[in-house]
Amino acid sequence: MGDLLAEAEAELYTADPDGFTARRTELAERARDAGEPAAAKKITALRKPTRSAWVVNRLVRSDPGVRSRLASLAADLRDASDGGRLRELTGARAQLVDELTRAALASVPAPPAAMREEVTATLDAAIADPEVAANLGTLVRAAQYAGFGAFAAAPPVAAPRKTKAPPEPAAEREARRREKIKEAERALAEADRDLESAVSAERDLEDSVRRLEAELADLRQRLAEARRRSYRAESRQQRAAGQLSRLTE
């Protein structure tokens, strides 16, 4: 199961998200045909990434050194004990995140500013948050982190002592389990629809931003040309006015 699932993750989280859903279905069917229903179930549960998460996943999977560089800097930041060292590492952090952001977006034509910001925030969060770092390569959405440092867990609250209830009949336990499975399946289907809708809206907005950026570039070019024509016309007008003035003296 491990190999089939790992292969599916490597392909799905590296390839363009536009083909994610169809290819996920094919890979799940292949796992079932191979006699691996558990792997097929896990593959079916894989979630489609946003384009920002996708470029980070692709970077991490194409360059094995990315994980170690992020982890090394995170360890250095945790071990920093004085302000001078912390300032030095903070600068190194910004430099590394900027470098990796440019590498992640290198093959994306005219990436929108929002996409660049999300990629930067995700890489920065991977340095600060071990959970984000652990999910690199299979991220579904961009991540953010408010600040660097550990969080203290609240002490557990002791639960009140309860009188031991009689064991639940097996038939009732099975019925409850099946109902919970159905509820989970309905929640998963609803979440999947919401994600598809959100990703579609994000993609449409990215297309709109790219179109507007192209229109803005065209308008700037036309404005520059109009200014050049205006300058040339003004020069001709001044020369003509001077010549007329000389002829009428």
Distance of alpha carbon 202 from alpha carbon 109, whole angstroms? 16
More reliable by pLDDT, 144 or 203: 144
User: What is residue 146's predicted lDDT score, i.e. its pLDDT?
Assistant: 60
User: What is residue 244's predicted lDDT score, i.e. its pLDDT?
Assistant: 74
Q: Which of 143, 131, 142, 140 is nearest to 195 (CA)?
A: 140
Distance of alpha carbon 146 from alpha carbon 213, whole angstroms? 30
Whether the predicted pLDDT of 84 surpasses 80: yes
Q: Which of 89, 4, 99 is nearest to 43 (CA)?
A: 4
- Mean of the pLDDT values across residues 220-242? 79
Report percent pLDDT > 70 for the chain. 82
Whether the predicted pLDDT of 78 surpasses 80: yes
Whether the predicted pLDDT of 83 surpasses 80: yes
Distance of alpha carbon 115 from alpha carbon 55, whole angstroms? 10
User: What is residue 149's predicted lDDT score, i.e. its pLDDT?
Assistant: 43
Distance of alpha carbon 189 from alpha carbon 172, whole angstroms? 26
User: What is residue 158's predicted lDDT score, i.e. its pLDDT?
Assistant: 45
Give the pLDDT band of residue 169 (cuts 50, 70, 90): confident
User: What is residue 2's predicted lDDT score, i.e. its pLDDT?
Assistant: 60
**Range name among 31-35, 66-70, 220-224 with the lowest pLDDT average:** 220-224
Distance of alpha carbon 243 from alpha carbon 76, whole angstroms? 76
Whether the predicted pLDDT of 117 surpasses 90: yes
Distance of alpha carbon 192 from alpha carbon 202, whole angstroms? 15
Report pLDDT digits (tens) over 40-59.
Answer: 999 999 999 999 999 999 99
Q: What is the pTM of this model?
A: 0.58
On average, the pLDDT of the chain sits at 83
Q: Which of 29, 48, 47, 49 is nearest to 39 (CA)?
A: 29
Residues 6 or more apart from 169 whose CB is under 8 A from it?
none
Distance of alpha carbon 216 from alpha carbon 214, whole angstroms? 5
Query: Residue 151, exposed/middle/buried by CB under 10 A (0-12, 13-18, 19+)?
Result: exposed
Report percent pLDDT > 90 for the chain. 52
**Range name among 28-32, 169-173, 205-209 with the lowest pLDDT average:** 205-209
User: What is residue 159's predicted lDDT score, i.e. its pLDDT?
Assistant: 46
